[in-house]
Amino acid sequence: MPLSLNDYQQLALRTAGNHGDFERTLIYTTLGLNGEAGEVAELVKKAFFHGHELPREKLKHELGDVLWYVAVLAQAMGWSLEDVAQENIAKLARRYPEGFSGERSRHRTE
């Protein structure tokens, strides 16, 4: 059964805990997001520069952790994940109305 972004966000929030206030939640989620993104980067780095196998399932788990922090951070800001996703797609459509290309990236106006 498909899981909507907003459904995921609500399920993720069950394990978010209470960090005391807005500032603490913002700091906690931002640092956690960066830590998990670093773990993703480390797995890819080791695969391409250290000769390790790319651990696809581990990478999937780490991406899930990234998504968890994004969901909790968005909630702290008062945004649903679907709102964040829609805004991102709208921004990309404005930036690259004909789709991405290196040429369009070098000469975009936004």
Q: What would the pLDDT profile of 16-66 be if each residue is shown by its tens digit?
A: 988 779 999 999 999 999 999 999 999 999 999 999 999 999 999 999 999
Contact between residue 4 and residue 80 where contact means Cβ atoms under 8 Å apart? no
Domain residue spans in the chain? 10-79, 80-110
Among all chains, which residue has been given the structure tokens 């520069």? 49
Q: What would the pLDDT profile of 3-20 be if each residue is shown by its tens digit?
A: 999 999 999 999 998 877
State the pTM of this model: 0.90
By CB neighbour count within 10 A (0-12 exposed, 13-18 middle, 19+ buried), where does 9 fall? buried
